[in-house]
Amino acid sequence: MMNLFKSKKDLFEFKHGDKTWYLTSAAKAVEHNGHTYLPLVSGRGDITDEDIDKCDTEITFPYPMQILNAEGDDLQALFINKIYFKSVTVTILELYKGETLVIHIGRVTQPKFDDDANTMTLVSSTAETQQNKSILTRKFQKSCSNKTYDRFCGLNIEDWSVEITVTAISSLTVTFTVNPTPVLDENGDPVLDGEGNPVTEIKSYPNNYFNRGVLHKDGIFTTILRSTDFETTGSNTVNLERQHFGLQVNDVVKLAPGCDQTRTGPCHTLFKNTPRFMGFPNIPNSNPVNDQIVK
């Protein structure tokens, strides 16, 4: 029975956007399913069921220590810089005789550092994240209950994304230039010059065009609070909700406009998506049942 227990191994798969770290708590590296799981995990706590929707566990690492994936990205740096919120997921598998059993799928909700023990502990919870999607809620409200670019909104983010080059980063403000794009004819085909080369143009976007939108790179999305255009301020900038981990000057990334969830806003004026609007803008501000005395 003791040998059976020792033959079982825990495998950990951490994901942040398009980046993945394959780790194990075994004493040596483990080869499984085409991946090498590196022995960088000190251990994990019990997987505890708090209620029907939530299940937590804690995963411990030596600290400080670089936890690198095959591309050289450091997992620990995500948490030291506090860029972990709702962005790092973890899958824990139990490996036995070449077969794996998924025992936990969650999202890292909290890092804890113990300088005395030289450890970093990541708390992972399955609350509302087990299937990597939001729990559906519909309310009788004025604003739209859809999220921009979700399946209910119906917009394809790639159709609205703009490729830009980062020219400067100051705190949460990113300055950029818009990259040239091909000129298309009425059929959607590229327009060619006399030598058969595609004709390109640099498009301009009005002030506040990217408000409530996203900056996305390598599968990581960061909310844009507001944007300014060159004609208004002398430069194209976006202000982010939080730091976009790994973003550097000269990076080529994409921006996509957002929506204020009203029927008369970008839903109508920009996206022409009013048929999918899921709000009730004509709800009265005052409820006569609560605000008026009925005789």
Q: How many angstroms separate the CA atoms of 1 and 5, rounded?
A: 6
Give tens-digit pLDDT for 212-244.
Answer: 999 998 888 889 999 998 777 778 999 998 888
Of 63-67, 166-170, 229-233, 264-268, least confident by mean pLDDT is 229-233
Q: What are phi and psi of 4, to 5 degrees?
A: -60, -40
b/e map 114-147, b = 16+ CB within 10 Å? eeeeebbbbbbbbeebbeeeeeeeeeeeebbbbe
Residue 290 lies in a domain: no
Residues 93 and 186 in one domain: no
Domain of 77, in residue numbers:
8-125
Look at residues 74, 101, 125 and tell me which one is the last residue of a structural domain.
125
More confident residue, 287 or 274: 274
pLDDT exceeds 60 at position 295: no
pLDDT exceeds 60 at position 2: no
Residues 210 and 116 in one domain: no
What separation, in Å, do the N-terminal and C-terminal C-alpha atoms of the chain show? 79
Residue 106 lies in a domain: yes
How many of the other CB atoms lie within 10 Å of CB of 242?
A: 13
Residues 109 and 171 in one domain: no
Query: What's the total number of domains in the chain?
Result: 2
Residues 271 and 162 in one domain: yes
Residue 77's CATH number: 2.30.110
Give tens-digit pLDDT for 112-160.
Answer: 888 888 999 998 887 554 444 555 556 778 889 888 998 889 999 999 9
Residue 288 lies in a domain: no
Residues 170 and 270 in one domain: yes
Q: How confident is the model at residue 294 (pLDDT cuts 50, 70, 90)?
A: low
Q: Please give the mean pLDDT across all residues of the chain.
A: 84
How many of the other CB atoms lie within 10 Å of CB of 254?
A: 17
Give tens-digit pLDDT for 65-78.
Answer: 889 998 888 888 88
At residue 55, the pLDDT reads: 72
